[in-house]
Amino acid sequence: MAAKAGLEIGRGNMAFGKIKTGLDNFSIKARLENNDLKDIFIKFSSDLANLTLKGALHNIFEKPGFDLDMNMACDLLKLKKALDLKQKLSGDVLIGIKAKGRPDDPALSFNLEYQGGNIEGIGIGSVFFNGSLEKRVFKILKLNIASSAGHIDISGNADLKPAFPGGFITNDFSKTGLLPMIL
């Protein structure tokens, strides 16, 4: 079985309940080949955020796996207004996530960079976070926060295997496939 699909939407407006935003661009492309969804490319650009997701899903009908790369940039002040949040927020956030493996025991790496602004009245110079999850061990490789209240540097590990000895998801997908997990 093989198929290729794509969708692209230009300028417009979007509404999800009370959330309303201008849409600059939305596109999605992918190719289905046997049990694999390949060449996944999703791009979303709006007033609130810019998001790009690339990668592949493997064995989606049997033992699902993934190899995905996601990057997002977001303006917290615009997000606060769109979500009608009461917290005091401002500044730009950049997020990057790489995910590989299977849902029960993925390998993940995360990066978060807050380029300064205000959170609940505290001036934040910057926040940098770099972490990973591999074989159910969560690592804070670096967490650095610089603010008007002080400076924090943190690193460390948390072994999650005792809490999740059989993996994060213990369902046997070889019998049910990925669809029941999504539904």
Virtual torsion, Cα 24, 25, 26, 30, nearest 10 deg: -160
**Res 171: pLDDT:** 54
Query: Who contacts 103 (Cβ-Cβ below 8 Å, separation ≥6)?
Result: 64, 66, 168, 169, 173, 181
**Res 80: pLDDT:** 85
Q: Rg of the chain over CA atoms, in angstroms?
A: 19
How far separated are the first and last CA of the chain, in Å rounded? 23
Q: Find the mean pLDDT for residues 1-30.
A: 83
State how far the alpha carbon of 108 is from the alpha carbons of 98, 126, 140, 151, 161, in Å.
Answer: 6, 23, 12, 27, 15
Q: For residue 182, is pLDDT > 50?
A: no
The whole-model pTM stands at 0.81
Evaluate whether 111 touches 72 at the Cβ level (below 8 Å). no
Segments making up each domain of the chain, as ranges = 2-182
Encode pLDDT of 111-130 as tens digits: 999 999 988 888 899 999 99
Encode pLDDT of 143-179 as tens digits: 999 988 889 999 999 999 988 888 888 655 455 444 4
